[in-house]
Structure 1
Amino acid sequence: MEHRTARLTVLIDPRKKQLFEAICAEQDLNPSQVIRKLIRQYILDHSGSRDLPDWLTGGAAKTEDKPPS
């Protein structure tokens, strides 16, 4: 599990931000939760042959061992 945090600043179109926040709220999620999930999935999908830590993968098989989504 991740214990420390670091700030990531992203500049986006205000209209996209407003729509994103509205959709997050409809799903009872805050934008940070969604962004963390997206980043985690991006790392898993694009890590190539890198060894990933268990705290990131949850002990799951590497991406290439998973069936395509």
Structure 2
Amino acid sequence: MEQKTARLTVLIDPNKKKAFEHLCATQDITPSQVVRQLIRDYLAQHGVSYQPGAEPPSGSQN
């Protein structure tokens, strides 16, 4: 897990959120773990590299 973290707020349909949380629970994984993996996969898919734990580039938002 990353040493430093930043909060990301996502607005989704309440029923979709409930279904997502239920599915995560049945797989014994947290929703945060799934979202972090989705983000890593998305960055890799688009060829974006990053250094875990490194400071974000200047001008980026936390």
Whichever of the two has the greater Rg, that structure is 1
TM more than 0.5: yes
The aligned counterpart of 2:20 is: 20
Structure with more relative contact order (C-alpha pairs < 8 Å, separation 6 or more) = 2
- Taking structure 2 as the reference length, the TM-score comes to 0.74
Q: Which has the higher helix share?
A: 1
Structure 2 unaligned spans of 5+: 53-62
Identical columns (%): 58
Counterparts of 1:1-69 in structure 2, within 5 Å, are: 2-47=2-47, 50=48, 52-53=49-50, 55=52
- Report the Cα offset of residue 2 of structure 1: 2.8
Amino acid of the structure 1 residue aligned with 2:10 = V
Structure 1 unaligned spans of 5+: 56-69
Report runs of 4+ in structure 1 exceeding 4 Å deviation.
none
- Taking structure 1 as the reference length, the TM-score comes to 0.67
Counting matched residue pairs gives 52
